[in-house]
Amino acid sequence: MYQTDPPLSPKETLPTMYDLKSEDPNDPGLPDEFHIYQPRLLGDTFRPPTYSQERVFVASDLNLYYDSHHTLWYKRPDWFAVVGNSRLYEEKDLRLSYVVWQEGVNPFVVVELLSPGTEKEDLGQSLRDADQPPTKWQVYEQILRVPYYIIFDRYTDTLRIFILQADRYTELSLEEPRIWMPTLELGLGLWQGSYQGIERLWLRWYDADGNWMLTPAEAEAELVIQERQRAEEAEAKAERLAAKLRELGIEPNEL
């Protein structure tokens, strides 16, 4: 009998992220300012308590390769998050793209920021030609089965939320523009405020108490305020103690 080698795994036979990079010379991918700042705010405030930050990966405008039979097919979500997977590729490298057949974990939430040129595809209203890749909607709903698909139209400040139910996306009827995601113990909603010096409605994550998650800059500023308050309280306490000692005929500076 001839001894045969075991079959190679997909990881050994299919292209990796080093082959399927995020750069596409035919698609310059030049986002406007909102498409830069809004994903950045989402990433800055996405800290689900159910996962360590080493097991959370977020990306914006990064190629997402989804079909091992058509390895050059990809989508480029405005923002997406993966939980339960390493922050780094194979625990050691920054990613050039996200290749699902290598990673083994699909995105948990995808956010698309509506643009006039992509509105129909983002909302699943475009038809797929037989010789073309599937639409965004088909990829997120039927191939990757992303549990939460979020669409935000900054021109009308409209938030639309779709959740995967019985293999199909169902749009939620929102009493207020937000959604709680129990698996993450985080919620996502519209926040009126200033980010990067720009006042408007932004998509932002919030915690179980309804508090908006702080950005690193906000957390640092809050820490400075708290330290200043503690110093002021300590100084006031010392002054009260000194006054009490003087009432007793003791000069604090001579102690």
| pLDDT tens, position by position, 12-34 | 789 999 999 887 767 766 678 99
15, HSE (Cβ side, Cα atoms, 13 Å)? 18
| pLDDT tens, position by position, 211-237 | 999 999 998 888 777 877 887 888 888
**pTM given for the model:** 0.84
| pLDDT tens, position by position, 135-190 | 999 999 999 999 999 999 999 999 999 999 999 999 999 999 999 999 999 999 99
Q: What percent of the chain lies above the pLDDT cut of 70?
A: 93
Could you give the 3-state DSSP secondary structure of residue 180?
strand
Q: Are 56 and 83 in contact (CB under 8 A)?
A: yes
| pLDDT tens, position by position, 100-118 | 999 999 999 999 999 777 7
Q: In what order do the strands lie in the sheet with 178-181?
A: 178-181, 186-195, 198-206
**What's 185's DSSP letter?**
T
Specify the domain boundaries for CATH 3.90.1570 within the chain.
10-212
pLDDT at residue 129 is higher than 70: yes
Fold of 10-212: tt1808, chain A (3.90.1570)
Cα-based distances in Å from 37 to 74, 130, 163: 23, 36, 25
Q: Are 55 and 85 in contact (CB under 8 A)?
A: yes
- Determine if residue 11 is left, alpha or beta; phi over 0 gives left, psi from -120 to 50 gives alpha, anything else beta: alpha
Can you say whether the dihedral through the CA atoms of 175, 181, 185, 190 is positive or negative?
Answer: negative
| pLDDT tens, position by position, 30-85 | 678 999 999 999 999 999 999 999 999 999 999 999 999 999 999 999 999 999 99
